Amino acid sequence: DAKTTQPTSMDCAEGRAANLPCNHSTISGNEYVYWYRQIHSQGPQYIIHGLKNNETNEMASLIITEDRKSSTLILPHATLRDTAVYYCIVRVANGNKLVFGAGTILRVKS
């Protein structure tokens, strides 16, 4: 699975959009980008995933660059409950295990 690079931490004002970047310059053509988050002391939560097209669901949007070497997770209106560690994971679709890096600590502040 390709390695990802994320900033250690980010702050975001409540109600504003949170944009979390992820670099995955060695991604292969058959690898997807997945995002999970872990709110303090809870189990990780699946957010969204994509291959090359931008994706949107009720939680977030995922923007993947045309060369697929980086992506951005967007939380359109961050709330205090979005404070968590966000993990960007790259792997093939039929893979089984998730390889978690250090992730980005997102702090949403009022």
State the residues that interact with another protein by CB under 8 A.
Answer: 32, 34, 38, 41-46, 49, 91, 93-103
Taking the complex as a whole, the smallest distance from the CB of residue 102 to another protein amounts, in Å, to 6
DSSP letters along 33-48, please?
A: EEEEEE-TTS--EEEE
Taking the complex as a whole, the smallest distance from the CB of residue 13 to another protein amounts, in Å, to 27
User: 13 or 93: whose CB is closer to another protein?
Assistant: 93
Q: Using CA atoms, how far apart are residues 40 and 53, in angstroms rounded to an integer? A: 31
User: 17 or 30: whose CB is closer to another protein?
Assistant: 30
Q: Both ends of the chain: CA-CA distance in Å?
A: 37
